[in-house]
Amino acid sequence: MYGSKTILFLAFFGIAILSGCSETGSARSQGNAARPLITPEAVSTSPKIVAFGDSLTAGFGLAEPESYPYLLQQRLKAEGYNYEVINAGVSGDTSLGGLERADWVLGQENVEILILELGANDLLRAMPVNRMKSNLDQIIRKAKAKNVKVLLCGMLAPPTMGGDYSRDYINAFPDLADEHDVEFLPFLLEGVATKRELNQADGIHPNAEGTRVMTENIFSALKPLLSR
């Protein structure tokens, strides 16, 4: 189903899970409640796209202009779209952390689209898939209740997690997309995973160039939701 490079990424990701080599190390001890709920102040009345996720959204290890929400903002402007992109990423966040702050994030004015990128830290902590799926389900329901369109970003699980867990985890994302009829990006890190030149030293988080590729993945999946 996936290429050999993706399988190598999953194998490395499995090592990361077992050794705990992730930015979530400190977050584990602090808990979600210890992390501030930070998002840039609204600066316009333009319709908003909320980039809602974990370190991949927040731009872990990157300068702000290298983060995907910033790059997406520039891409949208270049294509003639009048949206304001809000970076609502929190490094180390889980699906539960996202659910706990979903009302606050969705309560901003003029939110039109939610890019939902959560679940990788649930995997790192080996959280039950049904619990993660329930949390994401509730976030999507909250967004749709406010007539906010959703782009759901999927992630893969390594075989080291066990066959049943890996299968259930991978399938959770397309199952949710089908159930709620939302746009779906199957693998956020397509074209980035396993490529050393596109990743930071941990082999998991994209570097500046890798984030550009990730932004293009998101932009392509986002286009059906955009209006001029």
pLDDT of residue 54: 97
Going by C-alpha positions, the residue among 109, 112, 66, 117 that lies closest to residue 88 is 117
Percent of the chain scored above 70 by pLDDT?
81
29/37: higher pLDDT: 37
Is-catalytic flag, 202? Answer: yes
Does 55 qualify as catalytic in the annotation? Answer: yes
Straight-line distance from the first to the last Cα atom of the chain, in angstroms, rounded to the nearest whole number? 36
Instruction: Answer whether CATH 3.40.50.1110 is correct for domain 44-155+170-225.
Output: yes
**What residue spans define the domains of the chain?**
44-155+170-225
Residue of 55, 67, 95, 166 marked catalytic: 55
So what's the pLDDT on residue 16? Answer: 45
Choose among 109, 105, 72: nearest CA to 118. Answer: 105
The 10s digit of each residue's pLDDT in 134-176 is: 999 999 999 999 999 999 999 998 888 889 999 999 999 999 9
Q: Which of 44, 202, 220, 227 is catalytic?
A: 202
Determine the Cα–Cα distance for residues 53 and 94; give it in Å rounded to an integer. 8
Question: Residue 108 above 90 pLDDT?
Answer: yes
